[in-house]
Amino acid sequence: MNIIETDITEVKIIEPRIFEDSRGYFFESFNEKIFKKKVCDTTFIQDNEAKSSYGVLRGLHYQLPPYAQSKLVRVIKGEVLDVAVDIRKGSPTFKKWVTVILNEENKRQLFVPRGFAHGYVVLSKEAIFAYKVDNRYAPEYERGIKYNDEDIKINWQIKDCKITLSDKDKNNQIMKLTEIFK
């Protein structure tokens, strides 16, 4: 397993070692001992999976303490542009973001620590997205930021007219990052 540093120290890309032959492939998608030593000492408590079609954008989501979540995300089928945004007020990388292409070929994963908003957009015809979380879902602590917030200016690699949002994420459109941390 190769751990790739990003421009934000706490956000890591995990690149598995893939063993392929005529039968198919095998790779270790998670190893607690290696993860705790090289990425973060946390315990994941739940696995989730979502299927989406081209242009579906989910995010930018986060939960407030005490229910903040770290996530370990990957794509089982298809391709997404995955984004982690630092929303830790006072952090030297506040409002900075990391993007990575996750797909079924590269089998990369992204570790999104607590204190980061997370989102992704589907770039393929469809995608199956899987992720682990280290804290329970608490809807009363869930928040969202506009995917096209002017202060963070994420390049989603897809035209706005092709983006599909849930009603919940449409409601995020009223909340700007700068309004959250006044």
Of the residues 62, 118, 120, 131, which is catalytic? 131
What is the DSSP secondary structure assignment for residue 155, as one 8-state letter?
A: -
Strand locations in 37-167, DSSP E? Answer: 46-53, 57-63, 71-77, 79-86, 97-103, 109-112, 116-122, 126-133, 142-144
The CA distance from 140 to 181, in Å, is 18
The CA distance from 42 to 74, in Å, is 18
Of the residues 54, 61, 67, 141, which is catalytic? 61
Q: Find the radius of gyration of the CA atoms of the chain.
A: 16
The CA distance from 59 to 36, in Å, is 27
The CA distance from 170 to 173, in Å, is 5
What the block records as the tokens of 117 is: 């908003």
Examine the residue annotation and report whether 118 is marked as an active-site residue of this protein: no
- The owner of tokens 């969202």 is 144
* Class of residue 105 by CB neighbours under 10 A (exposed 0-12, middle 13-18, buried 19+): exposed
Examine the residue annotation and report whether 61 is marked as an active-site residue of this protein: yes
Catalytic positions, please? 61, 131
